[in-house]
Amino acid sequence: MRAWWISAALWWGLSACAGSQAGQQRAPLLDLSLTRADGARAELSAWRGRPLLLFLFATYDEASQLEFVPLQQLLERERQLQVVGVALQPEAATFLKLFQRALSVPFELYYDADNQLLHKQTALGALRGVPAFVALDAEGRIRGVHYGVATHEQLRALAASARD
């Protein structure tokens, strides 16, 4: 029993040290080119200067669709936060046009025409699926990532990580 406790304490101590060292490194900068349904292109750097929450979704995904209301509520409370939706799916341009007509989305919607996110060509690396949320600070550095449906508390925590 005593040996197990000592091993657990040693493992925890080493993990805590590794975590504190990682926390001291600068978060990676996320560079990304996005395209609107109308074909207009934008660099992610255009939103620098204020915290940003990227919402990675698929228009056909029910879990993704459920997140639009909590995101709208978050935007009402977090006035400094920007939200940008990025559709990750085949034929994204066509589906985004239909999606925008059907829903009144309170933030800009884009897609990744170059498939940088899906081909692991960004600082995010491999994506685990949608919906996903990526918190970026005012400099465009990744401050937090959440996969799956997010609760109001989780969205607020992501917004707070982007402000810090």
pLDDT digits (tens, 9 = 90+) for 72-109: 999 999 988 999 999 999 999 989 988 888 888 889 99
Give the rounded distance of the alpha carbon of 19 from its chain centre. Answer: 21
d(CA 40, CA 55): 19
Task: Specify the pTM.
Answer: 0.82
pLDDT band at 27 (very low <50, low <70, confident <90, very high): confident
Q: Is residue 83 part of a domain?
A: yes
Task: Write down the residue that tokens 């207009």 correspond to.
Answer: 40
**Are the C-beta atoms of residues 70 and 155 closer than 8 Å to each other?**
yes
Which residue type occupies 53? Answer: L
User: If we measure between CA atoms, which residue out of 42, 48, 28, 52 comes closest to residue 112?
Assistant: 42
Q: Is residue 21 part of a domain?
A: no
Number of domains in the chain: 1
Q: Is residue 8 part of a domain?
A: no
d(CA 131, CA 4): 39
Q: Is residue 18 part of a domain?
A: no
Task: Write down the residue that tokens 């939200």 correspond to.
Answer: 83
d(CA 93, CA 113): 9
The whole-number pLDDT of residue 19 equals 33
d(CA 106, CA 113): 22
Q: Which two tokens stand for residue 76?
A: 């009402």
**More confident call, 23 vs 129:** 129
22-35: average pLDDT: 78
Average pLDDT, the chain: 84
Q: Residue 112 sits in a domain of what CATH number?
A: 3.40.30.10
Q: Over 70: is that where the pLDDT of 152 sits?
A: yes
Q: Is residue 6 part of a domain?
A: no
Q: Is residue 104 part of a domain?
A: yes
Q: Is residue 7 part of a domain?
A: no
**Are the C-beta atoms of residues 86 and 95 closer than 8 Å to each other?**
no
Q: Which residues form the domain of 67?
A: 27-163
- H-helix or E-strand containing 54? strand 52-57
The whole-number pLDDT of residue 60 equals 92
The whole-number pLDDT of residue 25 equals 60
Task: Write down the residue that tokens 């992501």 correspond to.
Answer: 158
The whole-number pLDDT of residue 106 equals 85
Q: Is residue 20 part of a domain?
A: no
Q: Over 80: is that where the pLDDT of 6 sits?
A: no
pLDDT band at 4 (very low <50, low <70, confident <90, very high): very low
